[in-house]
Structure 1
Amino acid sequence: MSAVRTLVVWCPDWPVTAAGRDAGCPPDAALAVLDRGRVLACSQAARRQGVRRGLRIREAQSRCPELTVLAYDPAVDARAFEPVVAAVEALAPGVEIIRPGMCALAARGPSRYFGGEQAFAQALREHLRQAGFQCVIGIADGPFAAEQAARLAERAGDPELTFPPGESARCLASLPISTLDRPDLVDLLHRLGIRTLGEFAALPARSVLGRFGSDGVAAHRLAGGRDSRSLATRRPPPELATEVAFEPPVDRVDHVAFAIRGAADQLVAGLAERDLVCTCLRVETESERDEPAGRQWRHPRWFSATDVVDRVRWQLQGTRTDSGGPAQELTSGVVRIRLVPDEVAATGAYQDGLWGDQAPDERIHRTFTRVQSMLGHDAVVTAVLSGGRAATERVTWVAWGDEPTPARPTVPPWTGHLPPPAPSTVFPSPEPVDVLDPAGRGVAVGERGEMSGECRTLARPGGSVTALPIVGWAGPWPVDERWWDPEAARRYARFQVACADGSAFVLLHEAGRWWIEASYD
């Protein structure tokens, strides 16, 4: 069986691209994705500073002090690659995802339509560029050779590279034997003096079978450009969205919730028929004033029909602008509601174990949802780690079931923020305190961080213990925020102090006064 002409789309550095998009980093930022303490992938800006794959994090940061480090998450890789695959499928169906960041499809059919392989490759690259993705393309006989063509194109700085039909073996011959990505086999071939794919392909197939077995034969065929395996193409996902139109428009929340119940049942049942559950739902509404609105809702587990109805009701209640009217009345009648499952998962991933391992989580969710139904969507909140310099800024409260989105991104360096470990208790409002020097005078901090004396005593007015000896302190760390905005400008200095009784605190000195911001328990 001859190798099929295959086109491979490759997005280089995909782990760092996906993680950067997920974290909201600018495209030109110096980024590195970390896995098991070493750099898995890095951006071009980081490479220009000397960061390389395989470096330990401290070495990478020493080469690039402004490096932003992101944790590797395979789920983020896969989720972020889905729009790329969808964009490819918009031009040519039958896509196989080799790995997140790389996919393949048969080149023959689309090439005929576009007038040749190069024309198809150019059209596909332009289509992906307009969708916001940069890629390189390789075309050859079989997926393996096409992947190597794409990698060679990237090294040469070219947008695409084509191995002519029947010439894949010649084009692959000079590549190192490590290209096969079979560590044990490659190590053995190295010890036998075989360094390139061409040298390995020149061996007789019968000898390869006798010495290396079936896996060696498969690698031998790849080295010789005889990759005859067919693509494991995926079927484009079906349209799972459900829409309900109202004629005449409905201006009461409870009436809309009642009418949407059938659509919610239909949505959940349709997913169940495909062994899927919805974990992230988008509710799109349109009013008679042509006011479209949409919101994404995330579920801790998966959406039932009742959960879908609750989200529709909460969203409509949140869009009301006349707070003085009845709770169920809308300012504008609803003419259309569309339910879109943004993220789905296989049912098996959410089934209870034999001993009901997930039952407590399910009971917790049902309890919280019941409280929300009675008291409102914002009655139950969870904490999400957020970016910021002050301890009070590091937590964002998000309603139960909502997307855990921080108020401020965690990725920026946030110069002046508290180093880890974080304090265990953060006061909602800083508490006043006095810091005294050895002579009992209040310690003052100047604009440049100069201090009038050493921190010796911490006095908490009104507390059961009025004065605590300070046995250790660090700082000051001056912070000058929004100096360009007179309304929001803020200048203060932060300290960490340890007291004789074992307690430790984060202190602020601002406008001549001392405050306790947080404590370490």
Structure 2
Amino acid sequence: MTGATDSVRVVVVWVPDFPVLACGAQDGVPVAVVHRGAVVACSASARAAGVRRHMRLPTAQARCPGLRVVERDLAAEVRLFEQVVHRVEAEVVPRLEVIRPGLLAAPARGAARYWGGEPQLSVRLVGTVAELGLPARAGIADSTFVAALAARRGDGVVVPADGDAAFLSPYPVGVLGVPRLAELLKQLGIRTVGDFARLPAGRVAERLGTEGIGAHRVARGGSARPVSVRTAVQDHTVQRLFEAAEEQLDAVVFVALALADELHERLAAAGVVCGRVEAAVETADGRILTRIFRHEGRLSSRAVAERVRGVLAAWSETGLLDAGDGEPGIRRLALRPDGIAPDTGSQGAFDGERDTPVEVERAAARVQAVLGHRAVARIVEAGGRGPGDRIRLVPVGDIPDDGAGASGGTWQGLLPAPHPAAVYPVRRPARLTGADGAPVGVAGRLELSAEPAFLSVDGRRPAGVNGWAGPWPVLERWWARDGGRRIARMQVTTDDGHAWLLLVDRSRWWVEAHYG
């Protein structure tokens, strides 16, 4: 049979700034949610100050000095958005697709007939999400891509049938999501989607290749994906039956990781990719719960498993996994690919997430097979107050435990941004003195005994102090008789052009990190 395309009407619901809402930010506070040193979302007040998505963190902080920086917590986003998905499925449309937390899509034709028309469907969806205290916008078009743009333009925008191309025409070519192609088109004097759409398809295929063909199809109002290949989708479904009902969610997540690996191998062997993955869980009492994720060939196996983890946690918190009087646990987990298409590279209509490129994962697996599983690790941000506490090494292929990603929580004494460029594994001895040469001390109320004037590191010649901030106290495990720690940190700049992070412990100064 031939797989479905986006030829039907589609409604998209978008919750603006969803990562900011998921971190619990207060209204009016400039907030930036960051991942790997770049802004992935920001609040309206931060945008007003000049902060933008994809901006590097130092640039964002320079534009908005009072910016509150929060590390992205994808699991929290999945849990919060699962409430939206559950409510929308129960009250408005019976089946939908989660593109990413904060953005969902659903077939619009049948739902619009039920609710009295497409504008009425949009109003119903926005109102349903608003009941959960979240702002939302809805857009309807012939394709998911254009419906998402319509939702971003304003609430309740309905693009007429066969009107996708006209709607896209005035947009800049960069909206097509292919940066290299957009740059080339600009160099050729083609700046709008409409200009690009008017080019002959044959000339586009000849000069711009597969990437250009897909973008040109979108520009003309078609689907971002090629026509689906003839394939039996069920042939690629992977599943695992548990001998006994599994009650530990972490065990189910590790099975999801193995299933995702198997699914990707099957798709690669067939030369295809999938646009979506449906995760299905069968409980011990016979209920089946499903959730659809946008995939577009971009999610690594670990990222798929993390999606499953977030959904399972949300279902558990909302009681959907409770067995009542029946047998508890999960009997079966299945991953079913949907939207099968030839593997022609990135499908590129939406921002995807791929934490580790597949080539790197495969190379790491080969090294691990020779040197051991822990021989190849990746850096994961973790919870902690000091710079050394906030980094953990996790073997490639492993899913970080809950502690490894707890960087978004509230940590009393957390070192403020910007973060140091180098953290020393072993503290370097230092001497911080006042103008009279006497050591600077820190009193119980965080009062300095003298204003810092000179800093010596590793016994070298002292440099003059021309700026400092702090001290910030850290009191950890205060209840432990032998394991407690009471320290204070300071940031110090010297007249030789260096910036240091100092730590005072039992009246002795140490260099913990270097800013540059």
TM-score normalised by the chain length of structure 2:
0.52
Give yes or no for the alignment of 1:515 onto 2:511.
no
Deviation at 1:93, TM superposition (A): 3.6
Name the amino acid aligned to 1:515. Answer: S
Deviation at 1:4, TM superposition (A): 1.6
Deviation at 1:13, TM superposition (A): 3.9
Tell me: CA distance 1:199–1:413, structure 2 relative to 1, closer, same or farther (3 Å): farther
Give the structure 2 partner of residue 122 of structure 1: 123
CA distance in 1, matches of 2:51, 2:167: 31
Deviation at 1:49, TM superposition (A): 1.6
Give the structure 1 partner of residue 146 of structure 2: 145
Tell me: CA distance 1:185–1:121, structure 2 relative to 1, closer, same or farther (3 Å): same
Give yes or no for the alignment of 1:48 onto 2:51.
no
Give the structure 2 partner of residue 10 of structure 1: 14
Name the amino acid aligned to 1:138. Answer: G
Give the structure 1 partner of residue 351 of structure 2: none
The equivalences for 1:258-407 within 5 A come to 263-264=245-246, 338-339=328-329, 357=369, 386-388=383-385, 403-404=402-403
CA distance in 1, matches of 2:67, 2:32: 7
Give the structure 1 partner of residue 159 of structure 2: 163
Secondary structure of the structure 2 residue equivalent to 1:103: strand
Tell me: CA distance 1:231–1:100, structure 2 relative to 1, closer, same or farther (3 Å): farther
Give the structure 2 partner of residue 135 of structure 1: 136
Give the structure 1 partner of residue 31 of structure 2: 31
Name the amino acid aligned to 1:68. Answer: R
In the alignment of these two chains, the number of paired residues is: 394
Tell me: CA distance 1:186–1:451, structure 2 relative to 1, closer, same or farther (3 Å): closer
Name the amino acid aligned to 2:178. Answer: R
Name the amino acid aligned to 2:507. Answer: W
Deviation at 1:166, TM superposition (A): 3.5
Deviation at 1:480, TM superposition (A): 8.6
Give the structure 2 partner of residue 286 of structure 1: none
Tell me: CA distance 1:408–1:95, structure 2 relative to 1, closer, same or farther (3 Å): closer
Give the structure 2 partner of residue 253 of structure 1: none
Structure 2's unaligned 5+ residue stretches are 261-301, 306-323, 337-357, 375-379, 393-399, 475-485, 493-499
CA distance in 2, matches of 1:266, 1:415: 33
Name the amino acid aligned to 2:161. Answer: P
Tell me: CA distance 1:111–1:271, structure 2 relative to 1, closer, same or farther (3 Å): farther
CA distance in 2, matches of 1:102, 1:129: 14
Secondary structure of the structure 2 residue equivalent to 1:195: coil
Name the amino acid aligned to 1:403. Answer: D
Deviation at 1:44, TM superposition (A): 1.6
Q: Would you say the 8 A contact 1:51–1:64 is kept in 2?
A: yes
Deviation at 1:92, TM superposition (A): 2.0
CA distance in 2, matches of 1:344, 1:516: 57
Secondary structure of the structure 1 residue equivalent to 2:402: coil
Q: Would you say the 8 A contact 1:105–1:231 is kept in 2?
A: no
CA distance in 1, matches of 2:171, 2:83: 32
Deviation at 1:7, TM superposition (A): 0.8
Tell me: CA distance 1:119–1:45, structure 2 relative to 1, closer, same or farther (3 Å): same
Give the structure 1 partner of residue 65 of structure 2: 65
CA distance in 2, matches of 1:194, 1:394: 46
Give the structure 2 partner of residue 282 of structure 1: none
Deviation at 1:404, TM superposition (A): 1.6
Name the amino acid aligned to 2:66. Answer: E
CA distance in 1, matches of 2:460, 2:205: 79
CA RMSD of aligned residues (A): 6.6
Deviation at 1:12, TM superposition (A): 3.3
Name the amino acid aligned to 1:92. Answer: V
CA distance in 2, matches of 1:492, 1:270: 39
CA distance in 2, matches of 1:187, 1:266: 49
CA distance in 2, matches of 1:148, 1:72: 24
Give the structure 2 partner of residue 293 of structure 1: none
The equivalences for 1:77-92 within 5 A come to 82-90=82-90, 91-92=92-93
Deviation at 1:120, TM superposition (A): 1.6
Give the structure 2 partner of residue 331 of structure 1: none
Tell me: CA distance 1:161–1:169, structure 2 relative to 1, closer, same or farther (3 Å): same
Q: Deviation string for 1:357-388 (max 9, x for gaps)?
A: 499669xxxxxxxxxxxxxxxxxxxx995455
Q: Return the match for 2:168 from 146, 165, 172.
A: 172
Deviation at 1:391, TM superposition (A): 10
CA distance in 2, matches of 1:204, 1:455: 70
CA distance in 2, matches of 1:150, 1:505: 46
Tell me: CA distance 1:339–1:193, structure 2 relative to 1, closer, same or farther (3 Å): same
Deviation at 1:62, TM superposition (A): 1.5
Name the amino acid aligned to 1:151. Answer: R
Tell me: CA distance 1:133–1:104, structure 2 relative to 1, closer, same or farther (3 Å): same
Secondary structure of the structure 2 residue equivalent to 1:65: coil
Tell me: CA distance 1:340–1:28, structure 2 relative to 1, closer, same or farther (3 Å): farther
Name the amino acid aligned to 2:7. Answer: A
Q: Would you say the 8 A contact 1:443–1:454 is kept in 2?
A: no
The equivalences for 1:494-505 within 5 A come to none
Tell me: CA distance 1:93–1:50, structure 2 relative to 1, closer, same or farther (3 Å): same
Q: Deviation string for 1:18-57 (max 9, x for gaps)?
A: xx73x66546542334466544432222112221235443
Q: Would you say the 8 A contact 1:180–1:219 is kept in 2?
A: yes
Q: Would you say the 8 A contact 1:10–1:101 is kept in 2?
A: yes
Give the structure 1 partner of residue 495 of structure 2: none
Give the structure 1 partner of residue 450 of structure 2: 451
CA distance in 2, matches of 1:424, 1:214: 48
Q: Would you say the 8 A contact 1:506–1:518 is kept in 2?
A: yes
Secondary structure of the structure 1 residue equivalent to 2:122: helix
Q: Deviation string for 1:259-278 (max 9, x for gaps)?
A: xx95448997999699759x
Q: Would you say the 8 A contact 2:435–2:453 is kept in 1?
A: yes
Deviation at 1:65, TM superposition (A): 1.3
Deviation at 1:72, TM superposition (A): 6.1
Deviation at 1:161, TM superposition (A): 0.6
CA distance in 1, matches of 2:487, 2:255: 56
Q: Higher relative CO (CA 8 A, sep ≥ 6), structure 1 or 2?
A: 2
Deviation at 1:77, TM superposition (A): 6.6
The equivalences for 1:186-265 within 5 A come to 186-203=182-199, 216=212, 218-227=214-223, 263-264=245-246
Q: Deviation string for 1:462-485 (max 9, x for gaps)?
A: xxxxxx999679798665989xxx
Secondary structure of the structure 2 residue equivalent to 1:9: strand
Q: Would you say the 8 A contact 1:140–1:168 is kept in 2?
A: yes
CA distance in 1, matches of 2:143, 2:433: 76
Q: Would you say the 8 A contact 2:434–2:454 is kept in 1?
A: yes
CA distance in 2, matches of 1:77, 1:184: 30
Q: Deviation string for 1:63-100 (max 9, x for gaps)?
A: 11122345568787767655544444333244334455
